[in-house]
Amino acid sequence: MKNSNNINIRDYNKIIDSLAVQCIKARHIRVLQALTIDSFYDVENIVILPNKGTISYTQAGAQQQVAPGEMLFIPGGQPITITYGRNNPLQLDQEAFTDDHQRYFQAMAAPDLEGQLENFSYITFEAKLLEAVNFFTSLAIPPFIIKDNAHLSNTLKSILLESSAATIGNARMVQTYTEQLVIEIVRHLIANHLFTDNLITHSHYFKDPRLIKLLHYIRDNLGGNLSNRKLAAVAHVSEDYVGQYFKMLIGINPQDYIEFQRMERAVKLLSTTQKSIRDIGQEVGFKDTAYFCRRFRMRFGIPAGKMRRKASFSI
């Protein structure tokens, strides 16, 4: 069965069924000082809901404002210049913000709709296709505003409410609502004809078992040999062809994909363990710690050590 956008519903149900979804953080934030963060970057997907005040971001040289009742969706891996507040915002890069975030943001227990200070709520979450690929990152779509979607807004608010509730089963409810949130976002994209060409390409994941085998092999061997020669042997294709084959289905060459996966794993290890930066670099496939640190800073705009501090607060 296909809808008016010529999208095979059966294929998209397979995609949804294959997603491993997890809520990472859900918080309410008070804005103490208006600021603009240049080239903000996170490996997780983020949905931001303004409660009081102004949030805007820059896209293609134009500033887009998130109106009351709207939400801003930032796919994982997509850099964005984002502004909180409107009166003479400070201009900061991600490193400067991370160094002194407590001057600008303060966590709060619940949304403040009546107070004087601007505030917003947000969640970060994973949605891994085949337990290997960040689904929204792989779509290569830019940040966008979600408008006129009460279902999605209510689901987001339910996640925020359950995440702060000391009630029986709240963790399970957060998981359920986060899975619902992902489905609502995909439905929103389709219903509003957003990035449907990007969505359609993902039917390839279920039509070529060699690709699935490759993605799982990369996921399970990030610390090992992932040269094109090795990938070609895993996929049973020639070394000359494997790069073209991978890029045709995924949209990027395999070595760029592998580096992103390694960096994503490194961020998770920095935020969930106390392992040294040297050990983390080696665990994700970088034998040279200095090279790992250079590549990490080039991708995220901050050193690995500061990413560990950032993870304690996020945005």
For 104-117, write each residue's pLDDT tens digit: 999 999 998 888 88
- Residue 171: the pLDDT is 94
* pLDDT exceeds cutoff 70 at 33: yes
Look up the pTM and report it: 0.87
Of 278, 266, 245, the C-alpha closest to 311 is: 266
Distances (CA, A) of 234 to 13, 205, 210, 246: 28, 16, 8, 12
**CB of 85 closer than 8 Å to CB of 31:** yes
Q: Report the half-sphere exposure of 187 (CA within 13 A, side-chain side).
A: 12
Report CA 27 to chain centroid distance, whole Å. Answer: 16
**CB of 77 closer than 8 Å to CB of 61:** no
What is the tens place of the pLDDT at every residue in 39-61? 898 889 999 999 999 999 998 78
Rounded distance, CA 34 to CA 279, Å?
38
Residue 192 phi, psi (nearest 5): -105, 15
* pLDDT exceeds cutoff 70 at 310: no
